[in-house]
Structures are given as C-alpha cells and as structure tokens.
Amino acid sequence: MHSKLQAAAQRQADDMAANNFMSHQGSDGSKMAQRVAEAGFTGGVIAENVAAGQKNVNAVVDSWMKSSGHRQNILGNYTVFGAAYAYSRTSKHKHSWTQVFGRGGNDGTDDENDIPWTSTGHDLSSEPTEEGSASEPDMGHHRRSEAEELTVQVVTCKGCWCFWI
C-alpha cells in the first residue's frame, strides 16, 4: 500500500464520515487530484473509488466490483494504491470507504513509508442486486453490471485495508 495515496484516501473517508456525505468532492471543495497532490503524490495518473454504507470490507469490495466505473478503476493499469475506512455512529451512512489508485509520477514503489500487508481471500462471484435497490448502500453515479467470476484478496494492515487481485 502506498503511504501517500493511503493518506489521501484516509482524508476523504474521514471527511465523508465526519460530515455525513458521500462524494468525490470533499466538504472543503477539494477534488481528488488536490488531495493526492497535498499528500505528496505528484506527476502521475490517478483514480478514486468512494462508497458509504457497507458494513465491512467484503461488502464494499463486492459493491465496487459490480459497478462498471469502480470495477474499471480496480482493474485499471495502476501500480500503487491506498485505501481507507472511517466510521461515525452519527453519520447517515456510518461507514465510509475510499480507494485511490496511481501510476507513474513519484509512485514510490520503493517508498520507505509504505505499509506492509497480509491478505485473505474473498470470492466475488455472487450475483449483483438491481441498481438503487433498498439493500444497496450508496455507491454514487456509476451504473451496475454483472461481476465476472474472480477472486480478490482482501488485504489488511495496521489501521487500514485494501485488496489484491
């Protein structure tokens, strides 16, 4: 996990939880590129996934993989990433999630501050629910599509989570 991208992801997850919203724009008006640059990752290609409402990492990864836009980010040509989770019992969604992906620039693949990780398996072959159903947490504006059968490794580390395909 890339420490600078993880910091940018944590900033957005914390903001969404603390201020009761889900968006790619921060409550301060910041955009993803600004948060990533302020965290110290510059000169590369970046992407972001956000979600809110899913109670655990398996549920949020499953939701992202069933959404074409989020799935494209996850399976995209990125070399580093950061992921974050925040919880607020007073927020509408309670659980907020952010992933930030990067490639090129100062990607820091040998960044001495990168966080070590371990992984456990998660099967994402289940059928998706319909978009907008009552059981679906808020996933933003992306259209849903059926997920292909594949296995994703859910990755856990100190104070954060991510996954490996």
Span 105-112, average pLDDT: 58
Q: 47: which strand partners?
A: 101
Amino acid at 84: A
Tens of pLDDT, residue by residue over 41-54, are 988 899 999 999 99
**How many distinct structural domains can be found in the chain?**
1
Q: What is the C-alpha to C-alpha distance for residues 68 and 74, in angstroms, rounded to an integer?
A: 10
Q: Which residues, 6 or more positions from 104, have their beta carbon under 8 angstroms from its beta carbon? A: 43, 44, 45, 79
CA dihedral of 49, 50, 54, 55, whole degrees rounded to 10: 100
Query: Model-level pTM?
Result: 0.69
Q: What is the C-alpha to C-alpha distance for residues 87 and 74, in angstroms, rounded to an integer?
A: 23
Q: Provide the domain limits for residue 153.
A: 3-164
Using 50, 70 and 90 to split pLDDT, how confident is the model at 109? low
Which single residue is written with the structure tokens 């992306």? Answer: 142
> pLDDT at position 128, please?
32
* CATH code, domain with 108: 3.40.33.10
Q: Which residues, 6 or more positions from 26, have their beta carbon under 8 angstroms from its beta carbon? A: 11, 12, 15, 35
